[in-house]
C-alpha cells in the first residue's frame, strides 16, 4: 500500500472514532470498547461505502472526490445503516453528524493541502 493511502484511511477512521467517542462521552454512554463499536460500526461501514464509491485510492488526500465520499458516506450512508440497524436518530443528531464529520473528514484534507502547498512554495 502507498503511504498516502494508509495515512488517509487511518485519518478517516480516527475521525469517525473521535466523533463516536466524543458523542458517547457527551451523552454519558460510557467508553467501553463494545459500546464504542456498537455506535461506530454503522458510520465506519458508511465511510467504507463512500470511500469505495469515490475510488479514493486514486487520490486519497484530495478533498474531491475522496473527502466528499468519506464525508457523505460516513454521515449519510452511516446514518441510513444506523436506522436500518434499529439505532436511534434525531434531527439534531443528524445535523451534528453532518457538521462534525464534514469538519473533520474534509478538514484534515484541507490542512494537508495547505501544508503541502506551503512546503512546495517556501524558499
Please state the domain count of the chain: 1
Predicted TM-score of the model (pTM)? 0.93
pLDDT in tens, 69-79: 999 999 999 99
pLDDT higher than 70, residue 1: no
**Banded pLDDT at 116 (limits 50, 70, 90):** confident
Q: For residues 12 and 46, what is the distance between their CA atoms, to the nearest angstrom?
A: 12
Q: For residues 18 and 21, what is the distance between their CA atoms, to the nearest angstrom?
A: 5
25: domain range?
3-121
> pLDDT exceeding 70 applies to what percent of the chain?
98
Residue range 86-102: mean pLDDT, rounded:
95
Amino acid at each position: 500500500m502507498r503511504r498516502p493511502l494508509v495515512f488517509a484511511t487511518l485519518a478517516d477512521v480516527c475521525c469517525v472514532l473521535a466523533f463516536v467517542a466524543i458523542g458517547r462521552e457527551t451523552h454519558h454512554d460510557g467508553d467501553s470498547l463494545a459500546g464504542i463499536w456498537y455506535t461506530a460500526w454503522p458510520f465506519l461501514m458508511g465511510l467504507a461505502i463512500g470511500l469505495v464509491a469515490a475510488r479514493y485510492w486514486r487520490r486519497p488526500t484530495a478533498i474531491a472526490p475522496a473527502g466528499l465520499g468519506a464525508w457523505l458516506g460516513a454521515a449519510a450512508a452511516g446514518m441510513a445503516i444506523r436506522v436500518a440497524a434499529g439505532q436511534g436518530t434525531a434531527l439534531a443528531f443528524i445535523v451534528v453528524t453532518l457538521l462534525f464529520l464534514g469538519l473533520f473528514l474534509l478538514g484534515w484534507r484541507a490542512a494537508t493541502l495547505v501544508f503541502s502547498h506551503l512546503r512546495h512554495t517556501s524558499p
